[in-house]
Amino acid sequence: MIQGIDKRRYARYDLRLPVLYKRLGSSRGKAGIGWTRNLSMGGVCLDLDERLDLTMVLGVLFQTDHGPIEVEAEVVWAASTSGLDGGIGHGLEFMELGPKQTQAMERLLAELQRTARSGHRLALDIGVTVVQRDRPGEAISGRTGNASRGGALLLLPQALSPGALVTVRLQTSHEPLRLDGAVVWVDPPEKRQPGEAIHHGVQFVSLDWSTSLALGLLLTGAA
């Protein structure tokens, strides 16, 4: 733990970032995947796919838009049942942070304080196929620019209408990851250049827990 500091004085910020975690000092070495709920300089609240024992020490890797942050943390509480989205809540206290870890965490939290964003977009450049729900036979191929648990930036060869309901298939090394969404914004005509992809902002809808975990693995590079 961070010695001599009352961690309750730290402000917590809502934040949805994918995390990889591993039990330290255990032969059970397989990494798990989860998502943050909120974060402070003293600790983090996570949604995980399993219930961990109290006092367990974990190695935790946060994937951020400035690169990964690796810390060690102790489980101080765990929910008895899963929440509405299927994840099991856990509270973790950070062990002693080194100078680089402290600097990276302070940078992330300062950005959160300025922007009040909970869904940090992470860079993601992979192939994507988009199908409009009212045109199921017409598939549009493009690339992603970034993504989060809440949505993605898509680069497509033709403009879709804001409000259009779509099915997005992200190309992975295994089978495509399918997500339902809605187009919330599109580059206006004056920002488009001939021959260049058109930027679209898509918000994911009805994201179940298993799909959230698969998306987290993709964003951490573990898929």
pTM score? 0.87
Residue 149: C-alpha distances to residues 18, 25, 32, 206, 218 (Å): 8, 31, 17, 11, 11
Q: What is the pLDDT of residue 140?
A: 97
Which tens digit of pLDDT belongs to each residue from 34-64?
Answer: 999 999 999 999 999 999 999 999 999 998 8
Q: Is the pLDDT of residue 131 over 60?
A: yes
Q: Using 50, 70 and 90 to split pLDDT, how confident is the model at 186?
A: very high
pLDDT tens digit string along 80-120? Answer: 888 777 899 999 999 999 999 999 999 998 888 777 665 67
Would you state the pLDDT for residue 10?
81
The fraction of the chain above a pLDDT of 90, given in percent, is: 68
Looking at residues 168-183, what average pLDDT do you find? 94
Higher-confidence position of 167 and 31? 167
Contacts of residue 206, Cβ cutoff 8 Å, sequence gap at least 6 = 180
Where does residue 92 rank: exposed (0-12), middle (13-18), buried (19+ CB within 10 A)? Answer: buried
Domains, the chain, ordered by start:
7-115 (2.40.10.220), 122-220 (2.40.10.220)
Q: Give the range with max mean pLDDT: 2-6, 111-115, 145-149.
A: 145-149
Minimum mean pLDDT among 20-29, 60-69, 149-158: which range?
A: 20-29
- CB 11, CB 1: distance < 8 Å: no
Tell me: pLDDT of 223 over 70: no
